[in-house]
Structures are given as structure tokens and as C-alpha cells.
Amino acid sequence: MTREEFILLRDFICEKTGIFFSENKAYLLQNRISGRLRVLNIGTIGEYYNLLRHGGKRAREELLELFCVVTTNETSFFRNAAQLDALREILKERLGNGKSPFLRVWSAACSTGEEPYTIAILIMEVMEEIGRKIPFLVYGTDINVRALESAKKGVYSPYSLRNVDHGLKEKYFKKTGGAYQVKEELKCFVKIEFSNLVEPQEYAKYRNMDIIFCRNVLIYFTDDMKKKVVRHLYECLNPEGYLILGHAEILHNIAPIFKPIIFPGAIVYKKGGV
């Protein structure tokens, strides 16, 4: 892959997904798409780019395949305990004050679904703890259609559940052979859908959210794209709603419209400003 071919494809991917590959990651991009070139029997990056840009229906189909190979899907249940402890406190406050008739949470870039199911478990556990039940729904979205199919099935390896204690495994999962199936009484509260954070019109479906998780996504975006996405997420939140980013992601100089709230070992962002 020449430098010119890399830049052409890199800029196209950034345009369609927000994901930006720096020049020192050219080898990574080439490795990720090499399998697609073999499947399509395409010899050069230039031919592949022309297919993506001008291939009509084939281009739309291949774009979904491209999304699958350029996205990173490292996740697990109950990932980053400090952030989930912060979520638990937020839920106690939201559910305990009696003001929320319905709770809506969005897990953006949910990959194979561990995060939205984790959130649903925590909501159910907190409701049981405080003795108050309200209707709720957790949306899990991603651009990787293969990951979404896995999320919809809700079948996970023991390694994916390595941070889940035995009691919660028994309560919310059914053992099937060497894997764990999410029970229907949990699954019914999680809605898995395709959604692309780069497309402004996509956000209309996710208005009036109480909490949004967008963890380990912005690190792959340019600063300009980060600002656009965060502004859209801000607009999707209810007044005093919360945005939870990845542990290493901060909004400094990206979105001063959010107010950082400090919890033990975690920072979350509360809607405020203009």
C-alpha cells in the first residue's frame, strides 16, 4: 500500500466512521483490510477505494464489512469497576428521588453487548436494593453488524464473564454447555440496534436519555469529530443527565458544556451549560 493509497482510504474511513488511522498505523489498516481484498478478489487499494466510493449497492454492502474490520471489539462484563460503582450511585439517586417515571440509558458503541447487559443488571440490582421498580430500557448500538448479531444472541464465554460474581451469574445467565446465555428476563430490557455516531440524523432516535455510556470510542476520533459527537450526545441527554466515557478519556477542551463530577476512581460528566 503506497502512502497515497493509505491516505485516500484512511480519509474515507474517517469520513464514514470517525475512526482515524495515523500514518504510523498504516500497517494495521493494511492488515485489517487485506482479508476483504482476498474475498473480493481485488488486487489494489485503489480498486477497493473505487468500489467503496462508486460501487452503488455493492459499495453499501461492503461498507458494512469495512465497519467490521476497522472497529475494535475488546470488551467484557463489569468492565472498570470504579465507573460502575459511580453508575450505581447515580442510579440510587435517580431512582430514589421518585422523580423518574421511566429510565433510558444508551450504550453507544456497545460492541458484542456486554456493556448494555451489565448496565441492565445494575439497574435491576439497584431497584431491588432500594425497593422501587420503574420501567427502563437500555439501548446498545454499534456499527459492527457482526458484533451486534452476537449481542442479540446474548451468548458469552466464561472469560467474558470473568468479573461477574457467582450470584449474578446464577441470577441473570443460563449455563449452556461451556457458555452462558443471557436470560430473557434481562434481555427484554436491552434493545440492540445499528447506529453510526458520525451520522447526525442517527441521534434523533436517542433523545431524552438519562445516562449515556460512550466508553473507549473518542480515543479513535479526530478532535473535530470528538467535538461533534459530544455535542450530539449532550443534546440527547435529559436535563441533569450523565455522560460516562472511557477511564482514560476526558472532555478537557472538547466540551466545557459538561460539568465533571468526581467519584472514587472515576469521573463522569453531567449535563449543564448552554
- 48 occurs within a structural domain: yes
Contact between 8 and 2 (Cβ < 8 Å) = no
Q: Which domain holds residue 138?
A: 81-271
- 51 occurs within a structural domain: yes
Same-domain check for residues 113 and 243: yes
Same-domain check for residues 202 and 123: yes
- 75 occurs within a structural domain: no
Reported as a single tens digit per residue, the pLDDT across 144-170 is 999 999 999 999 999 999 999 999 999
Same-domain check for residues 146 and 108: yes
Same-domain check for residues 88 and 133: yes
Same-domain check for residues 195 and 242: yes
Contact between 20 and 10 (Cβ < 8 Å) = yes
* CATH code for the domain of 59: 1.10.155
Same-domain check for residues 178 and 260: yes
- 119 occurs within a structural domain: yes
Same-domain check for residues 182 and 53: no
- 127 occurs within a structural domain: yes
Phi, psi (degrees; rounded to nearest 5) at 232 = -65, -40
Reported as a single tens digit per residue, the pLDDT across 189-244 is 999 999 999 999 999 999 999 999 999 999 999 989 999 999 999 999 999 899 99
Same-domain check for residues 66 and 102: no
Same-domain check for residues 138 and 24: no
Say which residue, 19 or 56, is predicted with more confidence.
19
- Residue ending a domain, among 70, 99, 122, is 70
Percent of the chain whose pLDDT exceeds 90: 77
With CA atoms as reference, report the closest residue to 164 among 182, 151, 147: 182
Same-domain check for residues 155 and 198: yes
Number of domains in the chain: 2
For residue 139, pLDDT over 90 is answered with yes
Reported as a single tens digit per residue, the pLDDT across 108-135 is 999 999 999 999 999 999 999 999 999 9
Own/partner long-range contacts of 32-36 (Cβ < 8 Å, ≥24 apart): 32/69, 32/70, 33/9, 33/66, 33/69, 33/70, 35/69, 36/62, 36/65, 36/66, 36/69
Same-domain check for residues 112 and 53: no
Beta strands 266-271 and 237-245 are antiparallel
* pLDDT of 274: 43
Pairwise CA distance, residues 58 & 122, whole Å: 42
* pLDDT of 250: 75
- Residue ending a domain, among 41, 70, 99, is 70
* CATH code for the domain of 214: 3.40.50.150
Pairwise CA distance, residues 57 & 61, whole Å: 6
Sign of the CA dihedral 39, 57, 20, 113? negative
